Chain A
Amino acid sequence: MLEAAGSGHSAGSMGLADIFTVLYFNVMNHDPKNPEWEDRDVLFLSNGHTVPVQYAAMAEAGYFDKEELMTLRKLGSRLQGHPERVKLPGMESTSGPLGCGLSQAAGYAYTLQYMDDIKHRFAYVVMGDGELDEGNIWEAAMFAGKYKLSQLIAIVDRNNIQLDGNTEDIMPLEDLRAKWESFGWHVLEVDGHNVEGIIEAIDTAKAITSRPCVILAYTIPGKGVDFMEYDYKWHGISPNGDQARDALQKLQANDDMISSEDAK
C-alpha cells in the first residue's frame, strides 16, 4: 500500500499493527456495515500519519474492499494521506496535525460520562510518542484527569522515534509514567507486540472507573522488517518496489513461522 502510494509513514504504521489488530478484532464494539452504530466504541487516531495501519485494519474488518487500499494518497481516494472523517465512513475524526486527538476523545468520553449517561461505550485514542511534545496533549491530559474520564482509554505508541531522530534526543519524554500519573491518570505499560498483553491492559483500563487510563505500548518501529526496525529514517518515508517486496517476504516468513509454531 505504501509502496503504491509512493510516500507515507512506514515505521509507525507497522509498529502499530498488533495494537490495531487488537482494537479492531478483539476489544472494540463496532459494525463495519453500520459505521454510525449508536452503541459503537469510537477510536480517534491522533497521530494521523500512521493511518495506513488503520486503513488496513478497516479493510480487513470489512469497512471497504481491500483493493481500495492501493488508492492510498491518490487523487480522488477516500484514503487520504492523513485521515478525513467526512471522506471515509467509520473514521471518527480528521487528523494529522499532531496533539489534538486526545482532546477530541476526551470530549467524546466526557459526553458519554456526564451528558448522556452512557456507561457501556468507550472512547479510544491512539497517540504517537513524538506528539507528546505538543502542549495541546497536556492540556487534554489535565482536562481528562480533572473530570476522571473513565471511559477514555489512551494508547501511546512508545516507539522512541520521531521525524528528526530519537525522542529522547529531540525532546526527552521520560519519566513518562510519572508525567501521566501526576496528571491523574492510571498508567499501564505493555509490550506493544504482545497481543494478549495488549488485550489484558485494555480490559484493565475498562475496569478502572475512577480515572482515565493510558497504556504506554512499547513498540518497535518498522516491526518485522529488519532493515526498518528501530531506524527513525523510516518514520516518514515509504519503501520502493524492491524494499516493499523484501519487506513483505520477511513479514510473510514471520507469519509462516508463527503459524507453524501454533500448529505444533
Chain B
Amino acid sequence: MSEYILNPNLFNDDVQQEPIRAGMGRGLKLAGEADSRVVALCADLTESTQIHLFKEAFPERFVQVGIAEQNLVAVASGMAQAGKIPFASSYAAFNPGRNWEQIKTTVALNEQPVKIIGGHAGVTVGPDGATHQMLEDIAIMRVLPNMVVVVPGDSLEAEKATMAIATNSKPSYIRVTRVKTPIISTPETPFEIGKAYVVREGSDVSLMGTGIMTYQMLAAANILATRGIHAEVVHVPTVKPLDEDTIIASARKTGRVVTGEEAQIAGGFGGAVSELLGEKMPTPIKRIGLEDRFGESGDPYELLDFFGLTGEHIANKVEKFVHSTPQYHREY
C-alpha cells in the first residue's frame, strides 16, 4: 500500500490554497480527455461549479439543462443508458438536495454510472446562508444502495477523485466546496476510492476527518501535541464504501475516536463511523460537525469558527473528551 504524503508546506503561512471545486473541474476535463464517453450536464451554474473547463474543451459533450435539477439527473440517466458517463452538476443544496428521488430511482436503483457533483457544499459557502449551505448530503447519499460517496480533502485529491469516479462504472457522488482551503496533499499522494489514510500517527485518540475537516483535524493535532496529547489523524475521503479496516485498526490502537465533517453529525460521516464501530469495535466516540441546526450567513472562516470547526475549537473539544473518557481497549 502506498503511503499518504502530506504537503510538507502544510503548516507554513504560505501554504498553497485552492477551492476543492477547482480540482474537480480540472479532473473532469482530464477524465473527458481520457474517455470520449464522459459528458457533462449543468443546471445554470457552469462556471461556479467549474464545469466550464470541460465545456470549453468539449463543447459538443456539454449539455445545459437550465434550472431544473430533477430533469438534470434523469436526463443524465437516459444518457448513461445510451452509453455515456454523465457528470451532472449543480450545487449540493439542489443536487442531491432537490432531486434525491430521481437519483434513487433513475441512477442508484437503475445502476447507471451517473456522477452527481454537489458543489458549494457545507457552511463554507458562506454569505449565501442556510438555504445554500448543504449539510445533509453525506447522510442522504450514503444511505443509497449502489452509491459511492466521495468527499475530497483538497483540490488535488478532488482532481484524482473525479478521474477515479469517471472509471468506476458506478453511481457516484462527489462533494466539493467553494472557498479556498489549504492543499493537504501533493501531486504524488495516492487516492483510491474506498481507502482511508493515516496521515499522522498517534496513540491517545484518533481524529478522523472527511473533506476540508481533515486539515482542521491536523491543525487540532498540532495544538494537542503541545498539551501532551498524541492524536492520530485519519483522512477518510471516501465515506462510502467506508475503509473499515483502516478505521477499526486506528480505533483499536488509540481507544478513542473523534470524527469531523462540515455537515450534520446525524447520519453523515460521524454516523457512518459510529455505526461501524458500534457493531465491530465499540469505542468511545465524539462527532464534530453541525449539531442538529442549520447554518447562517457569514464569511466562510468566520462560520467555521462560529460552529466550532476550526483546529483550535476541535483541540479544546478533544482535550475535554480525552480527559473525561478512558481509553477503551478490547482484545479481538
Q: A residues bordering B, Cβ < 8 Å? A: 42, 44, 84-86, 92-97, 99-100, 103-112, 114-116, 123, 135-136, 139-140, 142-143, 146
- Is B75 part of the binding interface, using a Cβ–Cβ cutoff of 8 Å? yes
- Is B61 part of the binding interface, using a Cβ–Cβ cutoff of 8 Å? yes
Contact A106 B68, CB 8 Å, known A86-B110, A92-B81, A94-B109: no
B70 and A111 within 8 A (CB): no
A93 and B75 within 8 A (CB): no
Expressed in whole angstroms, the Cα–Cα distance for A148 and B85 within the complex equals 23
**Given A100-B106, A110-B79, 12 new contacts (CB under 8 A):** A86-B111, A94-B106, A103-B78, A104-B106, A106-B78, A108-B78, A109-B78, A111-B79, A116-B83, A136-B74, A142-B66, A143-B68
Q: B residues bordering A, Cβ < 8 Å? A: 39, 60-61, 63, 65-66, 68, 70-71, 74-84, 86, 101-102, 105-106, 109-111
Expressed in whole angstroms, the Cα–Cα distance for A103 and B114 within the complex equals 14
- A selection of 26 A-B contacts at a CB cut-off of 8 Å is A84-B110, A85-B110, A93-B78, A93-B81, A94-B106, A97-B102, A97-B105, A100-B77, A100-B102, A100-B106, A103-B74, A103-B77, A103-B78, A104-B78, A107-B77, A107-B78, A108-B79, A108-B82, A110-B75, A110-B79, A111-B82, A115-B60, A115-B61, A115-B84, A136-B70, A143-B71
Interface centre among A103, A110, A112, A143 (most CB of B within 10 A): A103
Expressed in whole angstroms, the Cα–Cα distance for A44 and B111 within the complex equals 16
Residues of B within 8 A of A94 (CB): 105-106, 109-110
A108 and B70 within 8 A (CB): no
Residues of B within 8 A of A95 (CB): 105-106
B61 and A104 within 8 A (CB): no
Contact A96 B105, CB 8 Å, known A110-B63, A116-B82: yes
Contact A136 B66, CB 8 Å, known A107-B74, A108-B82, A111-B78: no
| Closest Cβ–Cβ distance, residue A89 to chain B (whole Å) | 13
B109 and A104 within 8 A (CB): no
Contact A104 B105, CB 8 Å, known A115-B39, A115-B60, A115-B84: no
Residues of B within 8 A of A106 (CB): 71, 75, 78
Expressed in whole angstroms, the Cα–Cα distance for A195 and B105 within the complex equals 32
Residues of A within 8 A of B61 (CB): 115
| Closest Cβ–Cβ distance, residue B60 to chain A (whole Å) | 7
Residues of A within 8 A of B111 (CB): 85-86
B71 and A105 within 8 A (CB): no
Residues of A within 8 A of B74 (CB): 100, 103-104, 107, 136, 140
Expressed in whole angstroms, the Cα–Cα distance for A116 and B75 within the complex equals 16
| Closest Cβ–Cβ distance, residue A237 to chain B (whole Å) | 23
Expressed in whole angstroms, the Cα–Cα distance for A17 and B33 within the complex equals 46
| Closest Cβ–Cβ distance, residue A245 to chain B (whole Å) | 35
Contact A93 B66, CB 8 Å, known A100-B102, A140-B74: no
A-B pairs, top 10 by smallest CB distance, nearest first, are A107-B78, A103-B74, A104-B78, A139-B71, A107-B75, A139-B68, A111-B82, A94-B110, A100-B74, A108-B78
Choose among A42, A84, A143 the residue that contacts B75 (Cβ–Cβ < 8 A): A143
B83 closest partner in A (C-beta): A111
A84 and B109 within 8 A (CB): yes
A114 and B106 within 8 A (CB): no
| Closest Cβ–Cβ distance, residue B111 to chain A (whole Å) | 5
Residues of B within 8 A of A109 (CB): 78
A142 and B68 within 8 A (CB): yes
Choose among B63, B77, B83 the residue that contacts A104 (Cβ–Cβ < 8 A): B77
Expressed in whole angstroms, the Cα–Cα distance for A108 and B79 within the complex equals 5
B110 and A112 within 8 A (CB): no
